[in-house]
Amino acid sequence: MAPTKPSSAPVSAPASVPPSGPTPGPTPGPTPGPTLISSVRRALVLLEAVAEHGEVTAKRLSRETRLPLPTTYHLLRTLVHDGYLQRERGTFRLGPAVPRLSGRGPGTGAGGRLAEWLGVLRDELGAPVYYADLTDGEVRVVAVAESAEHRAVEEWADFRTTAHAHALGQCLLAQLSPEDRRAYLARRPVIRLTPRTVRDEEALLTRLAGVRRGAPVLEREEYVLGAVCAAVPITVGGVHSAVGFSLPADERARLAPTAERLRQRLERALATQAFTVLT
């Protein structure tokens, strides 16, 4: 038997076997650093400086933080608008929104901001404070800020049906047109709650017609004996509302000056748009 000759056909090289394990990707470059927003950092620097001083002017803040004065004013206006600072007679101090940063505030929604604001007013005025509005043609007391030292008036007669007898209701009715006032009183007629309550509808309409625009409305023991009240109107975005307070009748001498103080306080708040917490 003849020996077998080796084949003259070329022999292919064995296929390359890929290494086991995942295929390595491209070599990663250096990890980019975090994106820092300079305006946020500047605002926080200002907040820290105000917290350190307690009360401080914009010029001093500008010097100490080395921020340009126009930038300082711009950031301060923003912080005041959002409630993180308050401006009083040219100086700045921490505002009612600051506790929310640590989770100690009563809430971050509109209701929480309203409660904070009314609490600030209660402490400043030394009296319980109320916020009311007109919703669907009805007087509605939305929130009350009281304390152990400053107790609110007990709602012994429904506030909604007795607007003619309390300062909040009279203040809201004064914001309406004469026609709308009569329409309201046709549904919610005047009734005597105390000997001092306005005697009838015509007497009430005459009183409301004499209320000056933006002026406080005072009420002395018309809703309940033993308490006097005042309210200041607010109209923001077409919403008729009012902020009021009450005092014991033996403190009636405080009623008018405290009402004027509240009016000025709300006027400043509206000028800085801080009162948008209510709308």
What's the rounded Cα separation, in Å, for the pair 166 and 187? Answer: 17
Strand partners, 236: 239
Does residue 141 surpass a pLDDT of 60?
yes
In three-state secondary structure terms, 1 is coil
Q: What is the CATH number of the domain that holds 199?
A: 3.30.450.40
**Count of the separate structural domains present in the chain:** 2
48-62, 120-134, 220-234, 251-265: segment of lowest average pLDDT: 48-62
What's the rounded Cα separation, in Å, for the pair 147 and 126? Answer: 10
Q: What percent of the chain has pLDDT over 70?
A: 78
Residue 169 inside a domain? The answer is yes
**56-57, strands of its sheet edge to edge:** 56-57, 91-94, 85-88
Q: Do 67 and 188 fall within a single domain?
A: no
| Residues of the domain holding 62 | 38-95
Does residue 143 surpass a pLDDT of 70?
yes
User: Does pTM surpass 0.75?
Assistant: no
In three-state secondary structure terms, 191 is coil
Q: DSSP assignment of 85-125, as one string?
A: EEEETTEEEE-TTGGGGGT-SS-SSHHHHHHHHHHHHHHHH
Q: Mind listing the pLDDT tens digit for each residue in 149-158?
A: 999 999 999 9
- pLDDT at res. 135: 86
Helix (H) or strand (E) holding 234: strand 227-236
Q: Mind listing the pLDDT tens digit for each residue in 231-244?
A: 999 876 567 899 99
Does residue 109 surpass a pLDDT of 90?
no
Binning pLDDT at 50, 70 and 90, where does residue 210 land? very high
Q: Do 166 and 63 fall within a single domain?
A: no
Highest mean pLDDT out of 15-24, 85-94, 249-258:
249-258
More confident residue, 271 or 18: 271
Phi, psi of 138 (to 5 degrees): -120, 145
Q: Do 218 and 118 fall within a single domain?
A: yes
Residue 227 inside a domain? The answer is yes
Rounded to an integer, the average pLDDT of 27-51 is 74
